[in-house]
Amino acid sequence: MQPHDWSRVLAPYRKPILSRAIFELAVTLVPFSFLWALAWAALSFSTILAVGTALVNAGFLLRIFMIQHDCGHGSFLKSRALGDWIGRFLGVLTLTPYDVWRRNHATHHAASGNLDQRGIGDIPTLTVKEYRARSSIGRLQYRVLRHPLFLFVIAPIYIFFFQYRLPVGLMRAGLRYWLSAFGTNLMIALLLAVLYRFGGMEVLIFVFLPTTMLAASVGMWLFYIQHQFEETAWEHDADWNVQKAAFEGSSYYDLPRVLAWLTADIGAHHVHHLASRIPSYRLREVLTEHDALTQCQRLTLSESLRCVRLHLWDETAQRLVSFSEARATPA
């Protein structure tokens, strides 16, 4: 079945279900709040237990981001306005200015896999030819950007703690995005002030930071593996097709069921890019009823770990390759 055929097949799943949306919010926010309180209470007798509980809670914070992601696509609820306000509230917890993120994420969906429109919402990716054309310093810079330590530790910290404090990418796009960034900043500052007032610096260091930093790092990993796999798809503008790029350039990350639940089934990313208005709580339904989709661009957890060695797009072979493979390829 071709990508445009799947788009028609998936259309009926776009309808939000109010009861499911309420349920998803409840089973995410209630455990998140409970684990936050438990980690805070544990500080009085065990810092290790507090940090451990905070790290477990990162899974629920990640799930909160996925619900915010649904709101950004207008898929979580029938009411777009209500979904937007839920997204803005959740954005305080995820340190993400909702309106800024929603606009930039829409750009990512509109240009994913297009070699001539890289730059917004993408993991930096050069072609083999572009990499070879760089100077020694340019190649070193790219190697640093693609290093796992940078991608999954430094970059998430920078993005969520610093970059998101300004409407980066939309600085001249209007007052709305400045209000989104600074409104979110204000609410984050108030939240941190309350935590500091009643819990001191310890609650920020041993509860807030571990939860937020781990969720940010895992979130970055998910975004990476959704498009950075060997048989992904990149094309220049003249040959690029939005449906083909959405389907063939996005993976099906087949995670163990608990991890799939914590990530709101965003592993079915090929389905999400084909039909972004499908709520995350219906993605499992899609996979169950259309088994063929579970065989497309499938990556298991163990297989995904090998993808960190892939760095460059080989336009001739039409696949991502490692630096060593690129060196062995004739110029």
For the packed helices 47-72 and 18-42, what is the interaxial angle rounded to 10 degrees? 160
Smallest CA-to-CA distance from 261 within 60, 18, 19 is with 60
CB atoms within 10 A of CB 330: 4
Tens of pLDDT, residue by residue, the chain (331 residues): 676 777 888 999 999 999 999 999 999 999 999 999 999 999 999 999 999 999 999 999 999 999 999 999 999 999 999 999 999 999 999 999 999 999 999 989 888 889 988 877 789 999 999 999 999 999 999 999 999 999 999 999 999 999 999 998 898 888 999 999 999 999 999 999 999 999 999 999 999 999 999 999 999 999 999 999 999 999 998 889 888 888 889 999 999 999 999 999 999 999 999 999 999 999 999 999 999 899 888 999 999 999 999 999 999 999 999 999 998 777 6
What's the gap between Cα 116 and its chain centre? 22
Q: 328 to each of 106, 142, 314, 324, 325, how far by Cα in Å? A: 37, 19, 12, 6, 5
Look up tokens 């070699």; give the residue.
115
The pTM assigned to this predicted structure is 0.94
Burial 140-154, CB ≥16 within 10 A → b, else e: eebeebbeeeebbee
DSSP SS3 for 321: strand
DSSP SS3 for 123: coil
Smallest CA-to-CA distance from 286 within 269, 303, 262, 301 is with 269
Q: Residue 205 — φ and ψ, nearest 5°?
A: -75, -40
User: What is the DSSP-derived secondary structure letter of residue 235?
Assistant: B
